[in-house]
Amino acid sequence: MLRLRIVTLVASIISAALLRVAAAQESSTPTPWPSREESPFSSVLPEHSTASSPTAEQTPSPSPARSVRIRFVPPPMEGTISLGIFDQSGKLVRVLHQNAQLNDFTIGADALVTQWDGKDDAGQDLPAGQYHARGYLIGPLKLEDLGQTSPPKPDTDTNSVVKVRLVPDPLRKNKSPVIEAGIGFGAGGSYLETTDGLPLFKISETPNVAHALIAKKSENGIDVWQDDGREPHQFRISNVDQMMAFDCGEFELK
C-alpha cells in the first residue's frame, strides 16, 4: 500500500509537468519550464505560501517562532524516512524525522510536506542563515540478535565506520552512492547512523552502551558489537544496501 502511494505521488508530478508544457504551448505568453531550484521534486517553501520558490520566509506571528515548509518527493521504494537539517558547514543541527512513516508527513498534491521550527535538537533557536535539508529512505533492513559474544580485536576490518552502497535514485539518475555509517548510542539505545550523525536504523533499546564496534559482514550485511559495561552483545544487520538518499535543497532561515 505504501509503495502504491509513493508511485501514485511520483506519477502525479509527471502528469503535472506534462500539463504545464501543454498550457505553455497554448498560451500567448510562453510559460517557462521550471528551473532546478523551482522543480517540484524538492523545494523548501515559507509556511502558508502557494509559490513554488524554494526561498523561505519567517511566518508572520507575534511570537519569535519561525516555521519553514519543506517539500520533497520520496524515493520510489518502500520504507521509513530519516531527514535532517544541516548548516552551511555540513553539521547536523536537527534530526527532523527519524524512521518516520509516510503518514507522518502531510501528503500534498505533488510532494510530501513537513515543517521545521528553526530550532536545534536542544530546542534552541538557530541563527538566521542558509541551511540544507537531506535524508534517507530506509528499506526492509533485517536485524538479528546474536546474543552475548566477545568482539574481535580491533583491526582493519573492525572499525568505528563501514562503507555502505546505496540504491541509486532514479529521479536523479545518479550512480550507486556510497556512504560511511557507524553506530550511535545514547539514553534511547543504539542505532545505525551516518557519520554526520543522522540516525538510520534502531539496533537496541540498551540505554547504557559505553562503546561499539562495527564490521562489514558482506556486501549487504554488517556486524555490530556493543558493550554496556557488563558483557558485549552482538547484532547483525542485513539488507543495508536497501537505502536511498534524497536531497531537499538549500533554504534561508530568517
84-112: average pLDDT: 94
pLDDT for 158 equals 54
- Listed residue (230, 225, 197) closest to 212, CA to CA: 225
The mean of the pLDDT values for the chain is 78
| Segment holding 24, helix H or strand E | helix 2-26
Q: Which positions ≥6 away from 195 have C-beta within 8 Å?
A: 161, 179, 180, 181, 182
CA atoms within 13 A on the CB side of 218: 8
pLDDT for 108 equals 86
The yes-or-no verdict on residue 60 having pLDDT over 60 is: no
Report the Cα 78 to chain-centroid distance in Å.
14
pLDDT for 175 equals 76
pLDDT for 117 equals 96
106 beta partners? 113
pLDDT for 8 equals 54
Dump pLDDT digits (tens) for 214-237.
999 998 999 999 998 888 899 999
Structural domain boundaries of the chain? 2-138+246-253, 142-238
pTM of the model as a whole: 0.73
pLDDT for 56 equals 42
Least confident of 41-45, 140-144, 200-204, 220-224: 41-45
